[in-house]
Chains A and B, each alone.
Chain A
């Protein structure tokens, strides 16, 4: 190895891409040659500067959220053609579009459409799945109710009760801001063993024309539903609608709902 071989090898050497033999030979030469050593040092210094200085752009959460929605829909389209779903597919697409609009512009729109509960159910389950796969379960990871509750303040126009139910086996994991059916939702995340529970809280829908029943005010009866293999419980209280969703079995999810309701009997707001 002589000085004239060095320039061809410097880059690969500095990148750690020379074979062992070549690297050994070059290093042996470098020990005797100050000029070539300078060359290598300069190359390394340059690469360090570039590496330290180049910006790595991180994928925005907005992208994660909309990608999760798009993938879920693509998956359904691939695996589950028409079925009886034909009726709501355009709605789901509209909802995801609206989601993107809402998420990017802060615009909110509220439309009264038929099958409100079905639509919400679908949204709740999609929201749950999305939170798990986008690896974005919590915005504020904390088991401390006094951290999670104030976190929502100023982010959403709701103050849902937040209670850690760890002693009863339902550990509070954190909170997250989400969108369900074009409206902002507070998501409280609990965990039972390995099973995450998303408890979505949205402002209770204003009763549609012709519909006399208002869901708020009464310490709501629990409606149990299921969709795509997930159990979903729904109730209303204090002007808010609650949707609990998990892959837990129905019995345990009901226990969770009752515990949560019992703890929030006297809502602080």
Chain B
């Protein structure tokens, strides 16, 4: 049975990455129901074009499709969110890749930064920063894999990642510091 073989192969290759796919969609849409719709659409699309999949990193392949589907979905349903991207890109190009240079009260900051607050702060970051943090810090993708998912050169991946971390740190400092000064 041809059909079963194809579906079975797809299930072996794509379904193990369903959690990663859903997680990315959930962070990008910020909503569980929308994330489910997006993932289902993405998987159906992936299945449709499965013959074009020539092996290689299956997770990167599926995440790329999920991401693409997310943006199409966001553009259709929440156009306001997608617009802000150009400014960020511009800003990013002017800031050279520099590792965050954290100073000493950092340790204190980290102790105050609980998981709930952290998630809230990341949720507020703009999409390019949010997604690169999800790919790196949650999914543990290498720079190369991230470059593939985002279709960017590795240099840009590094600078955007540095920028995302810096933005997050700044936001964390902003929201935690007032509490430090009692």
Tell me the A residues contacting B by CB distance below 8 Å: 6-12, 14-15, 17, 38-39, 42-43, 45-47, 49-60, 62-64, 66-67, 70-72, 74-76, 78-80, 133-135, 228-229
As a 0/1 sequence over residues 114 to 131 of chain B, the CB contacts with chain A under 8 angstroms (1 = contact) are 110011001000000000
- Count A/B pairs, Cβ under 8 Å: 141
Contact B39 A80 (CB under 8 A): no
Contact A76 B101 (CB under 8 A): no
Stretch at the interface among B68-76, B80-88, B133-141: B133-141
Tell me the B residues contacting A by CB distance below 8 Å: 1-4, 6-8, 10-11, 15, 18-19, 21-23, 26-27, 32, 35-36, 39-40, 43-44, 47-48, 97-104, 106-107, 110, 113-115, 118-119, 122, 133-134, 136-138, 142-143, 158, 161-162, 165, 168-169
Contact A53 B113 (CB under 8 A): yes
Instruction: Give bound CA distance, A193 to B100, whole Å.
Output: 57
Contact B137 A57 (CB under 8 A): no
Instruction: Give bound CA distance, A17 to B161, whole Å.
Output: 13
State which of B3, B22, B44, B101 has its C-beta within 8 Å of the C-beta of A7.
B101
Contact A45 B7 (CB under 8 A): no
When C-beta atoms are compared, the residue in chain B nearest to A40 turns out to be B99
Contact A45 B107 (CB under 8 A): yes
Contact B133 A75 (CB under 8 A): no
Instruction: Give bound CA distance, A53 to B133, whole Å.
Output: 12
Instruction: Give bound CA distance, A50 to B47, whole Å.
Output: 34
